[in-house]
Amino acid sequence: MSEHKKVYDEIFTLLERHDDWMSKTINLIASENVSSPAVRSAIVSDFRDRYAEGWPGERVYAGCKYIDEVEIICMKLAKKLYKAEFADVRPISGVVANLMMYSAAMAPGERMMALSIAHGGHISHARANLGGTAGQIRGHKVQNWVFDEKEFNIDVDASIGKIRKLQEKGDEVKFLLFGGSVFPFPHPVKEFREIADEYGMTIGYDSAHVSGLIASGRFQDPLREGADMVTLSTHKTLFGPQHGVVLSRSEFADKIKRAAFPGMMSNHHLHNVAGLAVAFAEMMEFGKDYTGQILKNSKALAQALHERGFHVIAEHKGFTESHTILVDITETPLKDGSVVEQTLEDANIIINRNLLPWDKKRGRDYKTPGGIRLGTSETTRLGMKESEMDAIAEFIHRVVMKEEDVKKVAADVAQFKRDYQKVHYAFDNETDAYAHLRFR
Ligand SMILES: *Cc1c(COP(=O)(O)O)cnc(C)c1O
C-alpha cells in the first residue's frame, strides 16, 4: 500500500473512532450541540464546492441561482425568528460576526466596554495584551464592565459610573458590548440605552451561547431592549452548522454588508448557509419545546449536583436561567478544574474547565481554574429530561466526589447513552446522531 493511501485510511479510521466515541459519551460542553440528519444532508450538498461573493442578486460569481434562493430563505427565516429588520447570514463564525459588528460600530482603535474573561467574557471581546480579537485585530481599547460576583451579573450603577468617569477624562467610549461565554443570567441591556444615547454610543449584544434560547423567547430580547446589533453563533443552543449571523436595525445594514463583503469574506461557506436555513426551520417548528426542556434540564442538573454536595454558583438565584451552570470544584477531592476535566473525559463525560470570578485572587489561572462549566443543549437534543439529568449528576458524583474507577464509570456511561442516539426536535431523524456516514 502506498504511504499516501495509508495516511488517507488513517484519517478515516480516526474519524470513525471519534464518531463511535461520541456515541458513547455524555457531552455537556455548553458551546456545542448536535445537528440533525437534515442539517448534515444540507452541508454535504454541492454548495460546499461553490462561490457566491457578494449579496444575492448582486453576485460576483455565476452559477448562483439556487444558492441565491437558499440564502434569501435563510435571511428571511433569521429576520422572522429574531424579529430583526436586517440579517446578514454570511459570517462564517461567531468571531467573524463580532468583527463585522465592531467594523460597523467603530473605527479601528476606538474604545469599547465588554465583560472580562474571568467574568464570562469571550476572547473575541478582549484586549490586545490577552491576544483578544477586539484588541489584537482591530486595535480597540477594551474597558471591562464592573461585575457583581454575588449576583453573577454586570453591576449597572458602578458600570455607568465607570463610563461617565472615562468620558469626563476624555477617554471616549464608543461601543457597549453585552453577552458572554458563561451566561447564566440575562444582561442589563435596557438599563444602558439612556447613557448610550446621551453620548452617542452603539450597543452590541453577542448572543453566541443563547442564540437558540432567544429565538424561542426563552432568555431576553436584546433588539427590543435597546441593542443596535446582535451577533449569533449558530451551533450552541441554536442547533445549526458552525456559522455566524449579524442582526441589526436597518440603519446599520449597509455598514454590516460592507464589512462582510468585500471586507471580511470572499467565500462564505454556502453549504453552512443551507444547513443554517434548515436549522432555522427546525427552530420555528420545535424551538419552543426544545428550549423549554433545556431550561428545565439545566435547573435539574444544577439541583441534582447541589444535592450531592457540589457548590453550584448562584444557588440563591436558582442557579441559572440558561443552558449553562457553573460549579466551583475547589472543595471536591480533585480540587482543580483541569483535573476534573481530564478525569471526567476518561469516564466518557465531556465538560469544560472554567475560570471563576474569584480565581485570580486565589492564584489560579485558565490552566488550573477552580470551576467547571456545564451545558444541557446536546443532552436535551438527544431527548434527555430531568430524570436523566439526575443520572448524569450521579455519574459526575461517582467520578469527582467518590473517585471511583473511571473505566467502570465510562462503561456505565456508554451503556446509559445507548438509549439516546436519535436527534429529537427535528422533522427527520432516521440516521443516528453520531452515525459515521460513508460516501466513498
Ligand atoms: C463561542 C463564542 C463566540 C465564538 O463563536 P465561534 O462561532 O466559535 O467563532 C463568540 N462570542 C461568544 C460569547 C462565544 O461564547
What is the C-alpha to C-alpha distance for residues 367 and 353, in angstroms, rounded to an integer? 8
**pLDDT at res. 374:** 98
Q: How confident is the model at residue 439 (pLDDT cuts 50, 70, 90)?
A: confident
Q: How far does the centroid of ligand 1 lie from the alpha carbon of residue 295, in Å?
A: 20
What is the C-alpha to C-alpha distance for residues 119 and 129, in angstroms, rounded to an integer? 17
CB of 94 closer than 6 angstroms to any ligand 1 atom: yes
pLDDT tens column, 56-82? 999 999 999 999 999 999 999 999 999
Query: What phi-psi label fits residue 79: left (phi over 0), alpha (psi between -120 and 50 degrees) or beta?
Result: alpha
Would the pLDDT of 165 be above 90? yes
What is the C-alpha to C-alpha distance for residues 287 and 237, in angstroms, rounded to an integer? 10
Q: State residue 111 phi and psi, 5-degree precision.
A: -95, 140
pTM for this structure?
0.98
Q: Is the bond preceding 241 in cis, omega lying within 30 degrees of 0?
A: no
**pLDDT at res. 248:** 98
- C-beta neighbour count of 415 within 10 angstroms: 10
Contact 280, 81 (CB under 8 A): yes
Q: Write out the E strands in 341-384.
A: 349-350, 352-354, 371-375
pLDDT tens column, 217-237? 999 999 999 999 999 999 999
pLDDT tens column, 99-113? 999 999 999 999 999
What CA–CA distances, in Å, run from 168 to 165, 172, 309?
5, 8, 48
CB of 33 closer than 6 angstroms to any ligand 1 atom: no
* 226, three cell numbers: 435597546
CB of 209 closer than 6 angstroms to any ligand 1 atom: yes
Q: 3-class SS at 116?
A: coil
**pLDDT at res. 440:** 86
Q: How far does the centroid of ligand 1 lie from the alpha carbon of residue 285, in Å?
A: 25
Could you please report the per-residue DSSP string of 188-248? Answer: --GGGHHHHHHHT-EEEEE-GGGHHHHHTTSS--HHHHT-SEEEEESSSSS-S-S-EEEEE
Contact 409, 399 (CB under 8 A): yes
Contact 313, 289 (CB under 8 A): no
What CA–CA distances, in Å, run from 131 to 65, 137, 144, 378, 438?
41, 9, 15, 30, 39
CB of 120 closer than 6 angstroms to any ligand 1 atom: no
Q: How confident is the model at residue 1 (pLDDT cuts 50, 70, 90)?
A: confident
Write down how long the chain is: 440
Domains along the sequence of the chain with CATH: 40-283 (3.40.640.10)
CB of 211 closer than 6 angstroms to any ligand 1 atom: no
Q: Which atom of ligand 1 is nearest to the CA of 97?
A: 9
Residue with cell 454570511: 90
Which of 178, 233, 246, when mutated, tests ligand 1's pocket best, judged by the most ligand atoms within 8 Å of its CB?
233
Contact 233, 208 (CB under 8 A): yes
State the DSSP code for 362: G
Residue with cell 463564525: 93
The angle at the Cα of 211, spanning 337 to 78, to the nearest 5 degrees, equals 155
* 140, three cell numbers: 480597540
Mean pLDDT of 248-274: 97
Q: How confident is the model at residue 436 (pLDDT cuts 50, 70, 90)?
A: very high
